[in-house]
Amino acid sequence: MKNSFTSILMTVLLMAGAAAAIGQETTSPAYGPGSAQPQSKHGFIRIRLQGVTSEPPRDTAFAKFQEKVKAWQALLQKPALPEDVQRCRIMAEDAFNNDKDFEKALSYYQKGLAIQPLWPDGQLNAALIAGELRQYDLAAFRIRCYLTLVPDAQNASGAREKQYLWEGKAQEEMLNLEMAYIQPGTFTMGSPASEKWRFVNQGPQTQVTLTKGYWLGKTEVTQGQWEALMGTTVAQQWDKANRNWTLVGESSGNPIYYVSWDEAMEFCRKLTERERQAGRLPDGYEYTLPTEAQWEYACRAGTTGDYAGNLDAMAWYAQNSGNTTHPVGQKQPNAWGLYDMQGNVAEWCLDRYKKKFPGGSVTDPTGPSSGSYRVTRGGGWDSDAARCRSATRGPYGPGDRCYDLGFRLALSSVR
């Protein structure tokens, strides 16, 4: 048998101890040295998109896979492994053997399986790597596909045990991140010169038309959701910031803070990649931060005053927060069902910061094309009423972190 990643892996699984190796947790991977085992935690975030009916759950993807298997079985011939898939296999083996890069190896297997899903070795190897990376939902899916292709494999019993284990872990780590659909529309951005506590950077008022609908998180991203995807706690984020500051609410249900704009965008990138690979992302969309116009439009939710409602009822701010963050979604939502748009933590926006709005009328603005700062919106637990107004905005550097600054997820069209 040739000395390759695939053959070594299959040899290990087919040995007398294979069922034990694949059927229970081990301190080192079955396919490599323990020193190569990844340390970061990768959970699975289940996205609920309000009004979306085209989101294909894992069961739907598996049903489609079963249809392909039946069609192949009807042909009574072994499915071919195209050259593109062979290249993916070689690159995956190289990523594992030479780079010890499990995520890279998994990505090549995923690419190969997208071309030829009727590839037992690929399904099995992808499952094992995903399991070691703690991507349990993907691991369970791939092992199901493997068992569908070779139900009588010598390691089938252990593989099924692993499937049940991974499915259980995936359920444990599922975190609901609900998103509301925001219809296109037109609104007046900024505040009039007559508004109390108005700052010069909140004008001139500008009529904004958003021609495309988008989804926006009903709540700010929580510490639990952040840790599930990024692998760090709020305390570890604090370690990267000014340690003269403090932790202000340390709980999985509280909003994440001490997160830079760059890190928030990395969260979006990772989530986009994962959901796209899993087949749960609508075509032509990606997760990102809301533009400043999208943020204010959603915050106002059809209102035109200082706030989107009664501030005490809707926001945790300096007057009522007790000098700490609070679990998301406890206060009243705005008219469009969004929580904590004002207060709890301020929120990063996608745009670069400019001291004034353009005035007049604009369509689908995305901010200036250059600049050193990014926009923050919404006010936090330590903000006074003036800084929680719908029009309040401020600048932070993209690498900055603060005890009252987090973010909210958006899902927007990239077309």
> 193-229, pLDDT tens digit by residue?
888 888 787 778 999 999 999 999 999 999 988 988 8
Per-residue pLDDT tens for 20-62? Answer: 232 222 222 222 222 222 222 223 345 555 443 333 346 667 8
Which CATH architecture describes the domain 175-413? Alpha-Beta Complex (3.90)
Measured N-to-C along each axis, helices 83-97 and 5-14 cross at an angle, to the nearest 10 degrees, of 80
DSSP H helical ranges for 278-347: 292-300, 311-314
Which CATH architecture describes the domain 5-172? Alpha Horseshoe (1.25)
What pLDDT is stored for residue 283 in this prediction? Answer: 76
Q: Find out whether 207 and 77 touch, Cβ atoms under 8 Å.
A: no
What pLDDT is stored for residue 121 in this prediction? Answer: 93
pTM for this prediction: 0.65
Which residues of the chain register pLDDT less than 70? 1-60, 76, 171-176, 415
Domain ranges of the chain: 5-172, 175-413
**Is residue 345 classed as helix, strand or coil in its secondary structure?**
coil
What pLDDT is stored for residue 1 in this prediction? Answer: 33
DSSP H helical ranges for 173-307: 223-230, 234-240, 261-277, 292-300
DSSP H helical ranges for 281-369: 292-300, 311-314
Site of tokens 């075509």 = 283
